[in-house]
């Protein structure tokens, strides 16, 4: 992969397309939850239950990562796209709350299965010196789901209805399942040490390796911080600036633009700075953005600029850390990435729960400054885990 530039570009484009589909399948339910609820004749609370269960599927990464290391990355990636296709097909063909519930959860499992496998695949085939560039490019599909995927789904729903949108996503997922075999090479045989990975002991194995444990703690703490702010920024804008729904929607586009710029910055700058140094720099910028947000956010334009800076710093940090994580356990890359996604997912769920309480206690200042403190803990965890580590000096423990 690394020796053929044309093949690499084709594979990156294909991976971006696959990720765009899976990210859109996971994220489009957020803005369209009321519309989907009306279509199914259920209250909004029933739709938020689906969202919560979809988020909880990240915990399945503890099992999907070791499976990918055992079975092969391409095979598991195909399974993820198949789950997207089957889940959306169920939603489109069987209208009703429970079929849609099951279908969306199955599609979310597809993303949970796919993401660690694709990161591990890149980690194996792309040299460490170029990894930030490739992972940063592929991760732009996350922002792309906000800037392209979700608006496109909105147009489709408006013109051919919700079921048509489900069926189109199912068709594209099936197309991706067929295409992946043409652009992603088959996996090489795995070392015996990788095949012996104990699926049910994946997390304890990761916690015994200091760099991996430090990275898991980093992902956990910064995810609590970011989601505690994300869950309350809408009510902050509504109460402080009396914004309309349309303006609030525009702010979501601004966050998507910040995510895209952060991912692009990883692709452009992370390898030049060094992945470890770039991640630490991103954390310092995120802490600064959180601390300044209550002071900056006196007017709506300045508040949106402050949110833009927060999400730009966060996205640069998290995407750069993906590239770094792929080298911490070279013999079990998918296991490492799945553990990272899972612990970060737990952090996001906790962030959603504590964000509202922090808002009630002290408004945006309490939320932002707590987020800065939690990000600081994440920085300490990262520095502790990576003390003395370098990509050229992996210990035997890294073989899990």
pLDDT band at 157 (very low <50, low <70, confident <90, very high): confident
Model pLDDT for residues 352-368, shown as the tens digit of each residue: 788 888 999 999 999 99
Residue range 28-64, pLDDT digits in tens: 887 777 778 888 898 877 887 787 788 788 777 777 7
What local confidence, expressed as pLDDT, does residue 319 receive? 93
Beta strands (DSSP E) in the chain are none
pLDDT value at residue 248: 67
Asked if domains 5-190 and 201-399 share a fold, the reply is yes
Averaged over 65-94, what is the pLDDT? 90
Q: Which residue would you say has higher pLDDT here, 3 or 111?
A: 111
Identify the three-state secondary structure at position 244.
Answer: coil
Supply the pLDDT for residue 398: 41
Q: How far apart are CA 173 and CA 147, in angstroms?
A: 19
Closest CA to 48 of 31, 71, 62, 68: 31
Cβ atoms of 282 and 289 closer than 8 Å: no
Q: How far is Cα 279 from Cα 316, in angstroms, rounded to an integer?
A: 8
Residue 383 CB contacts under 8 Å (≥ 6 apart), including other chains: 214, 280
CATH superfamily membership of 5-190: MFS general substrate transporter like domains (1.20.1250.20)
* Residue 144 Cα distances to 69, 149, 256, 257, angstroms: 28, 6, 8, 9
Residue 397 pLDDT grade (very low, low, confident, very high; cuts 50, 70, 90) = very low
CA angle 321, 348, 77 (to 5 degrees): 60
Name the helix (H) or strand (E) containing 296: helix 275-296
CATH class of 201-399: mainly alpha
Which value, to the nearest 10 degrees, does the dihedral of the CA atoms of residues 274, 316, 177, 114 take? 80
- The domain ranges of the chain are 5-190, 201-399
Q: What is the mean pLDDT of the chain?
A: 86
The Cα 318–Cα 279 span in angstroms is 8
Confidence of residue 102 (pLDDT cuts 50, 70, 90): very high
What letter would DSSP give residue 204?
A: H
Q: pLDDT tier at 120 (50, 70, 90 boundaries)?
A: confident
Instruction: Indicate the DSSP class of residue 164.
Output: H
Q: What's the CA gap between 84 and 248, in Å, rounded?
A: 29
pTM here is: 0.81
Report, as an integer, the average pLDDT of 268-273.
92
Q: Are 69 and 206 in contact (CB under 8 A)?
A: no
């Amino acid at each position: 992969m690394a020796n053929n530039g044309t093949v690499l570009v084709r594979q990156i484009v294909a991976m971006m397309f696959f990720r765009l589909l899976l990210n859109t399948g996971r994220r489009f339910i957020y803005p369209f939850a009321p519309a989907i609820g009306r279509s199914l004749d259920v209250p909004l609370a029933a739709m938020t239950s689906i969202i919560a269960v979809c988020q909880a599927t990240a915990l399945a990464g503890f099992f999907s990562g070791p499976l990918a290391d055992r079975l092969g990355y391409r095979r598991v990636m195909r399974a993820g796209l198949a789950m997207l296709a089957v889940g959306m097909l169920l939603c489109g063909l069987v209208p009703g709350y429970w079929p849609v519930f099951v279908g969306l959860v199955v599609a979310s499992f597809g993303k949970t299965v796919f993401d660690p496998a694709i990161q591990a695949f890149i980690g194996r085939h792309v040299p460490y010196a170029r990894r930030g560039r490739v992972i940063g490019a592929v991760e732009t599909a996350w922002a792309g789901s906000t800037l392209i995927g979700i608006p496109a789904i909105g147009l489709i729903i408006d013109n051919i209805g919700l079921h048509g949108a489900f069926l189109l996503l199912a068709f594209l997922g099936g197309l991706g399942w067929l295409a992946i075999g043409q652009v992603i090479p088959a996996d090489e045989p795995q070392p015996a040490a990788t095949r012996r990975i104990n699926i049910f002991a994946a997390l304890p194995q990761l916690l015994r390796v200091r760099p991996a444990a430090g990275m898991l703690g980093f992902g956990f703490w910064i995810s609590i911080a970011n989601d505690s702010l994300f869950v309350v920024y809408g009510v902050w804008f509504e109460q402080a600036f009396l914004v309309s729904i349309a303006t609030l929607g525009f702010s979501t586009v601004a966050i998507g633009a910040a995510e895209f710029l952060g991912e692009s910055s990883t692709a452009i700058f992370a390898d030049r700075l060094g992945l470890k140094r770039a991640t630490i720099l991103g954390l310092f910028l995120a802490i600064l953005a959180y601390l300044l947000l209550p002071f900056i956010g006196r007017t709506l334009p300045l508040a949106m600029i402050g949110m833009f800076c927060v999400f730009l710093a966060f996205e640069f940090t998290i995407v750069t850390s993906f590239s770094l994580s792929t080298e911490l356990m070279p013999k079990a890359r998918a296991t490492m990435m799945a553990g990272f996604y899972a612990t970060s997912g737990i952090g996001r769920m906790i962030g959603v729960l504590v964000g509202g309480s922090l808002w009630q206690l002290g408004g945006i200042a309490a939320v932002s400054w707590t987020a800065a403190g939690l990000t600081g803990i994440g920085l300490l965890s990262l520095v502790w885990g990576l003390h003395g580590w370098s990509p050229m000096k992996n210990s035997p423990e890294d073989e899990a």
